[in-house]
């Protein structure tokens, strides 16, 4: 079926579940360093 009708696991990234979504939509624990929790950020800067 076309992507617009496909199940979430087959859908394009913009429709994909958070665990499969691009970094800008990813959960904080998977987000890039600039979006990481403060405690993680301070560890990288020290």
3-state secondary structure 1-46: CCHHHCCHHHCCHHHCCHHHCCHHHCCHHHCCHHHCCHHHHHHHHC
- How many angstroms separate the CA atoms of 33 and 46, rounded? 14
- How many angstroms separate the CA atoms of 30 and 21, rounded? 10
pLDDT tens per residue across span 11-40: 565 655 656 556 565 566 655 666 556 676
Quick one: pLDDT at residue 7?
63
- How many angstroms separate the CA atoms of 34 and 10, rounded? 29
Quick one: pLDDT at residue 4?
72
Q: Taking the mean position of all CA atoms in its chain, how far away is CA 38?
A: 18
């Amino acid at each position: 079926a076309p992507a617009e009708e496909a199940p979430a696991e087959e859908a394009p990234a913009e429709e994909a579940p958070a665990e499969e979504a691009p970094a800008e939509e990813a959960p904080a624990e998977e987000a890039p360093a600039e979006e990481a929790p403060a405690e993680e950020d301070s560890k990288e800067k020290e």
